[in-house]
């Protein structure tokens, strides 16, 4: 049976959830943050899962209204500060991916602090994709490798990426069937699950059901059975 060692999630549908409940979009993001905590804690308990990568803010999300972007930045900072003790308590290592240099110095400091304080943790790795886009990640990696004389190999390119780990199971909530610039290289052989549930309604029970289905899939990687 397959093991979902690396699960990646496109957490989509916060705004629509809020609209459905006659609330402002930001209320959906607030509720979404609670689900991040629930799902992370669930993954800690699953022996198979070593890595959980969550898409929190894309390189394209800057196109949103300033107030929403500002709210998301504040929410992220608040979440990381509040949950630092949870990361440590549950032995979770925090690893951001994406170009965080575009964030305010205070947010960068908070991100780096959680990263440093959880560097010793050797349980689940929770990776938040922050100002992340696969195209940007690949361009930064290629530019990093530019000065090297040898030919670039699959291994050297993979190692130069922010996320160096292939995805086993990729889930997108919110009903859309697209990857929106998320982990394109790493998901080459991921099993894809697109579900209608809006992120604030997602639960560990639903994740459990997806993992059960994932385990039964025949993953051939181009070979025959």
Residues at the contact surface with ligand IPE, assessed by CB under 6 A: 10-16, 55-58, 61, 72, 174, 176, 178, 180
**CA angle (215, 218, 223) in 5-degree steps:** 140
CA–CA gap between residue 198 and residue 133 (Å, rounded): 22
Query: Among Mg ion, ligand IPE, none, what does residue 14 contact (CB within 5–8 Å per kind)?
Result: ligand IPE
Distance in Å, CB of 120 to Mg ion, minimum: 35
Distance in Å, CB of 221 to ligand IPE, minimum: 27
Q: Give the Å distances, CA to CA, from 61 to 108, 186, 200.
A: 18, 21, 18
- In the bound state with ligand IPE, the residue whose beta carbon lies nearer, of 176 and 196, is 176
| Annotated catalytic residue, options 12, 162, 168, 181 | 12
CA–CA gap between residue 97 and residue 116 (Å, rounded): 14
| Annotated catalytic residue, options 2, 48, 61, 201 | 61
- CB pairs under 8 A, 24+ apart, for 32-40? 32/199, 32/200, 33/75, 33/79, 34/200, 35/11, 35/199, 35/200, 35/202, 35/203, 36/11, 36/79, 37/83, 37/86, 38/203, 38/204, 39/9, 39/202, 39/204, 39/207, 40/90, 40/92, 40/124, 40/126
Query: Among Mg ion, ligand IPE, none, what does residue 133 contact (CB within 5–8 Å per kind)?
Result: none
Distance in Å, CB of 132 to Mg ion, minimum: 15
- In the bound state with ligand IPE, the residue whose beta carbon lies nearer, of 65 and 222, is 65
Query: Among ligand IPE, Mg ion, none, what does residue 10 contact (CB within 5–8 Å per kind)?
Result: ligand IPE
- In the bound state with ligand IPE, the residue whose beta carbon lies nearer, of 57 and 87, is 57
Decide if 61 is catalytic: yes
Decide if 48 is catalytic: no
Query: Among Mg ion, ligand IPE, none, what does residue 56 contact (CB within 5–8 Å per kind)?
Result: ligand IPE
End-to-end CA distance of the chain: 13
Sign of the torsion angle spanned by Cα atoms 41, 165, 69, 180: negative
- In the bound state with ligand IPE, the residue whose beta carbon lies nearer, of 61 and 166, is 61
Distance in Å, CB of 72 to ligand IPE, minimum: 6
Residues carrying an active site annotation: 12, 61
């Amino acid at each position: 049976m397959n093991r979902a060692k690396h699960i990646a999630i496109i957490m989509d549908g916060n705004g629509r959830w809020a609209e459905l409940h006659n609330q402002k979009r930001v209320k959906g993001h607030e509720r979404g943050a609670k689900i991040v905590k629930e799902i992370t804690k669930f993954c800690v308990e699953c022996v198979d899962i070593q890595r959980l990568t969550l898409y929190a803010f894309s390189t394209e999300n800057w196109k949103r209204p300033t107030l929403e972007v500002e709210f998301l930045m504040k929410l992220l900072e608040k979440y990381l500060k509040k949950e630092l003790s949870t990361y440590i308590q549950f032995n979770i290592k925090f690893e951001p991916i994406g170009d965080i240099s575009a964030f305010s110095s205070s947010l960068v400091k908070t991100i780096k602090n959680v990263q440093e304080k959880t560097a010793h943790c050797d349980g689940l790795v929770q990776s938040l994709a922050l100002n992340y886009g696969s195209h940007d990640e690949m361009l930064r990696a290629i530019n990093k490798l530019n000065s090297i004389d040898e030919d670039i190999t699959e291994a050297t390119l993979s190692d130069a990426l922010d996320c160096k780990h292939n995805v086993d199971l990729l889930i997108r909530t919110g009903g859309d069937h697209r990857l929106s610039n998320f982990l394109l290289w790493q998901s080459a052989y991921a099993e894809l699950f697109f579900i209608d549930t809006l992120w604030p309604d997602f639960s560990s029970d639903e994740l459990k059901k997806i993992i059960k289905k994932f385990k039964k899939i025949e993953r051939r990687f181009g070979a025959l059975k």
